[in-house]
């Protein structure tokens, strides 16, 4: 029997040079800037609306990682197979 865990709405928090990044759906990332602004950014819109910090480098890096993970079938969905993995989702 297969148990499928619903993981929609989960996200991982990742510390980056200009603040925090919340990995969200492929193609966009939610970024918490050092200025406190939380905004969803894409590779085309990656500048903080509030302070103007350019997050392009970070966004591209995160999206590249997301793409790798997509290609390996969203590994966090199988976290239950690993005992004590302690993943948030
Ligand atoms: Zn900012």
- Residue 42 is encoded by which pair of tokens? 């894409």
Which span out of 4-8, 62-66, 69-73 was modeled with the highest average pLDDT?
62-66
CA of 35 to the centre of ligand 1 (A): 4
pLDDT one-digit tens code per residue, 16-67: 888 888 766 667 888 889 999 988 888 888 999 999 999 999 888 888 887 7
Write the CB contacts of 68 (distance below 8 Å, at least 6 apart in sequence). Answer: none
Q: How confident is the model at residue 5 (pLDDT cuts 50, 70, 90)?
A: very low
pLDDT of res. 74: 58
CA distances from residue 13 to 2, 22, 24, 32, 87 in whole angstroms, order as listed? 28, 5, 10, 10, 11
CA of 54 to the centre of ligand 1 (A): 8
pLDDT of res. 51: 96
pLDDT of res. 1: 42
CA of 58 to the centre of ligand 1 (A): 13
3-class DSSP state for residue 12? strand
CA of 57 to the centre of ligand 1 (A): 14
pLDDT of res. 24: 62
CA of 39 to the centre of ligand 1 (A): 9
CA of 36 to the centre of ligand 1 (A): 6
């Amino acid at each position: 029997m297969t148990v499928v865990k619903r993981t929609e709405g989960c996200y991982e928090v990742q510390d980056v040079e200009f603040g925090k990044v919340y990995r969200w759906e492929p193609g966009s990332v939610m970024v918490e800037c050092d200025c406190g602004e939380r905004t969803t950014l894409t590779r085309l819109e990656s500048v903080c609306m509030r302070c103007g910090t350019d997050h392009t480098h970070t966004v591209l890096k995160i999206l590249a990682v997301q793409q790798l993970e997509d290609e390996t079938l969203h590994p966090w969905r199988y976290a239950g197979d690993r005992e004590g993995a302690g993943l948030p989702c």
